[in-house]
């Protein structure tokens, strides 16, 4: 099918911050063939090409003189099933949460802790999405990506993806890889991860003592709905900063002044701090300037109250970063991708 390339398209409906910038060119692609056609078109017209999924991890700071290519390929397929483990492949444009729900409905465990994360399957490996003690690397079976340098299709296994905390090879090589489909190793046997945050407590409150993966998913959805603003009501991109990992000596130094510091020792001897705690302690929670602000309940979430620009949100983020560094000596890193 030929491409329908549109000119001067507002990206407001295509990013969860709801920032109103224009794409010079915009196209939705539903197949490998259309991805290749879009690449050829961008090459021919000498414009940059920016792939997007659900736009839930983007901060758009100005109009884009580019071809914005929205991944809209669909399809979910079982590749293998040995009775215990099932490998399921989903196309990049599949919306993430409905895909999670579909696997649960198939009686498969593994993705339940990642329920209600916005976005698409294809973007999930970009930052190795994670929530409630699980990351996609824990259930990852492989992916297929198009190498924009060579034009080749490449299959990646777990080791080749270089996954880290909100990180991957694909994020470290921006612009090179177009992820076309992702495979997950899911289980018929149930091994639940309930020890992160209030998951176990929420299940207990609901009177569930022997939860199924679907129960865990429902509990996590209810916790997330309480905790995080719904982008349909208040523009945001989820956590705006990564939790910083710092040397143990620095964590000790901060703890000397703040006994209630939230800190998690890491296997390598470093310490992960809760960015939200640092931001809240610095007094930013609920801060608002114009339409750009810090959520009143979640200091890790920057919000657009209506007509904030990406630049205003970026400026706010920069001020928070400078303040946290001045107070605690900790450098916060932004999580969303800036364009």
Ligand X SMILES: Cc1cc2nc3c(=O)[nH]c(=O)nc-3n(C[C@H](O)[C@H](O)[C@H](O)COP(=O)(O)OP(=O)(O)OC[C@H]3O[C@@H](n4cnc5c(N)ncnc54)[C@H](O)[C@@H]3O)c2cc1C
* Distance in Å, CB of 40 to ligand X, minimum: 17
Query: Which residue among 38, 49, 92, 324 contacts ligand X (CB under 6 A)?
Result: 92
Query: Which residue among 120, 168, 217, 298 contacts ligand X (CB under 6 A)?
Result: 120
110 or 130: CB nearest ligand X: 130
**According to the binding rule CB under 6 A, does residue 179 interact with ligand X?**
yes
Contact mark string toward ligand X, 34..63, x via CB under 6 A? ----------------xxxxxxxxx-----
How far is residue 132 from each of residues 117, 163, 191, 217, 231, measured CA to CA in Å? 11, 17, 14, 11, 20
**According to the binding rule CB under 6 A, does residue 124 interact with ligand X?**
yes
The two structure tokens encoding residue 206: 């609901």
119 or 211: CB nearest ligand X: 119
Whether 239 is a known active-site residue: answer: yes
How far is residue 43 from each of residues 36, 170, 245, 273, measured CA to CA in Å? 10, 21, 40, 43
* Distance in Å, CB of 231 to ligand X, minimum: 5
Catalytic residue among 166, 183, 185, 281: 166
35 or 251: CB nearest ligand X: 35
The two structure tokens encoding residue 137: 């690397």
138 or 251: CB nearest ligand X: 138
Catalytic residue among 115, 217, 239, 299: 239
**Cβ atoms of 66 and 47 closer than 8 Å:** yes
107 or 162: CB nearest ligand X: 162
**According to the binding rule CB under 6 A, does residue 142 interact with ligand X?**
no
Query: Which residue among 27, 39, 64, 237 contacts ligand X (CB under 6 A)?
Result: 237
**According to the binding rule CB under 6 A, does residue 139 interact with ligand X?**
no
- For residue 257, the SS3 value is helix
Q: Helices 96-105 and 213-227 sit at what angle, rounded to 10 degrees?
A: 150
Tracing tokens 């696997």 back to the chain, one arrives at: 103
The two structure tokens encoding residue 260: 């209630």
DSSP assignment of 281-311, as one string? HTT-TT-EETTEEE-SS-TT-EEE-SS--HH
Cα–Cα distance for residue pair 243/254, rounded to 1 Å: 15
**According to the binding rule CB under 6 A, does residue 18 interact with ligand X?**
no
* Distance in Å, CB of 81 to ligand X, minimum: 26
The enclosing H or E element of 315 equals helix 310-328
**According to the binding rule CB under 6 A, does residue 337 interact with ligand X?**
yes
| Measured torsion, CA atoms of residues 144, 147, 150, 153, in degrees rounded to the nearest 10 | 10
**Cβ atoms of 202 and 167 closer than 8 Å:** no
Tracing tokens 């969860």 back to the chain, one arrives at: 16
Whether 166 is a known active-site residue: answer: yes
Query: Which residue among 103, 113, 127, 298 contacts ligand X (CB under 6 A)?
Result: 127
Query: Which residue among 103, 115, 144, 236 contacts ligand X (CB under 6 A)?
Result: 236
Q: For Cα atoms 63, 67, 71, give the angle at the middle one, nearest 5 degrees.
A: 110
**According to the binding rule CB under 6 A, does residue 223 interact with ligand X?**
no
Q: What is the CA radius of gyration of the chain?
A: 21
Catalytically active residues are: 166, 239, 335
Binding site for ligand X (CB under 6 A): 16, 50-58, 71, 92, 117-120, 122-124, 126-127, 129-131, 177-179, 228, 231, 236-238, 337
């Amino acid at each position: 099918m030929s491409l329908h390339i549109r000119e001067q398209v507002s990206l407001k409906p295509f990013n969860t911050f709801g920032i109103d910038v224009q794409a010079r060119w915009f196209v939705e692609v539903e197949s490998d063939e259309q991805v290749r056609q879009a690449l050829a078109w961008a090459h021919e017209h000498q414009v940059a090409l920016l792939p997007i999924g659900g736009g839930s991890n983007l901060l758009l700071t100005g109009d884009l003189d580019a071809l914005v290519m929205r991944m809209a390929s669909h399809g979910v397929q079982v590749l293998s099933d040995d009775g215990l483990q099932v490998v399921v492949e989903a196309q990049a444009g599949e919306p993430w949460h409905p895909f999670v729900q579909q696997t649960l409905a198939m009686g498969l465990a593994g993705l339940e802790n990642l329920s209600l994360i916005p976005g698409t399957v294809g973007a999930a490996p970009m930052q190795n999405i994670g929530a409630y003690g699980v990351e996609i690397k824990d259930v990852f079976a492989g992916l297929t990506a198009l190498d924009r340098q060579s034009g080749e299709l490449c299959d990646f296994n777990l080791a080749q993806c270089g996954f880290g905390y909100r990180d991957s090879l694909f994020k470290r090589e921006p612009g090179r890889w177009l992820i076309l489909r992702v495979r997950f190793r899911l289980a018929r046997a149930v091994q639940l991860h309930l020890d992160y945050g209030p998951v176990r407590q929420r299940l207990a409150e609901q009177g569930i003592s022997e939860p199924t993966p679907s129960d865990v998913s429902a509990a996590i959805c209810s916790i997330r709905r309480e905790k995080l603003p719904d982008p349909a009501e208040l523009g945001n991109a989820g956590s705006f900063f990564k939790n910083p990992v710092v040397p143990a000596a620095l964590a000790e130094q901060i703890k000397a002044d703040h006994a209630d510091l939230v800190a998690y020792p890491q296997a390598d001897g470093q310490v992960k701090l809760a960015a939200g705690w640092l931001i809240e302690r610095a007094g930013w929670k609920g801060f608002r300037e114009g339409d750009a602000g810090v959520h009143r309940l979640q200091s890790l979430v920057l919000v657009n109250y209506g007509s904030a620009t990406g630049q205003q949100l970026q400026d706010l983020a920069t001020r928070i970063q400078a303040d946290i560094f001045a107070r605690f000596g900790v450098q916060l890193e932004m999580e969303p991708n800036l364009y």
